[in-house]
Amino acid sequence: MTRATHVLAVLALGMPLLVWGVSTGSPVAAAPQAPANHPEMPDGPGKDITIATCTKCHSITNITGQHKDKDGWTSTITKMVGYGATGSDEDFEAILTYVTKNYGLDTPATPPAGTPAPPADKPAPK
């Protein structure tokens, strides 16, 4: 087995096990999470379940930094379920609706946390 093939085999087997371990309560899953209110995210139906479900394994910026259409978000959610994300069909539908509405292709990019808003009389920089 070549070194590259060995590395790929280890990654192919190890990554799902790591994700499974995180999602089942390993010490990694017990790591402190960011504040739950996430004021940088728009309020609305689905916000709380999106935060609760998605921050079990990664930062919420994995969502807020992306903009996808409904098919793109559906694909991402399906992939996350494959990695071990848990919830009801209703939970995932609420997440899909929330992220598509607030982080769709036609929504403006969210500035990084701590970025001051531009003055009302000046447009935001491009």
Mean pLDDT of the chain: 75
Please tell me whether the overall predicted TM-score, pTM, comes out greater than 0.85 for this model: no
CATH level 3 topology of 43-110: Cytochrome Bc1 Complex; Chain D, domain 2 (1.10.760)
Q: CB-hemisphere CA count at 13 Å for 65?
A: 7
Check: CB of residue 107 under 8 Å from CB of residue 67.
Answer: yes
Spatial distance between the Cα atoms of 14 and 58, rounded to a whole number of angstroms: 17
> Phi and psi (nearest 5°) for 8?
-65, -40
Closest CA to 63 of 84, 32, 90, 42: 42
Q: Is the pLDDT of residue 3 over 70?
A: no
The overall longest dimension of the chain from CA atoms, in Å, is 63
* pLDDT given at position 86: 94
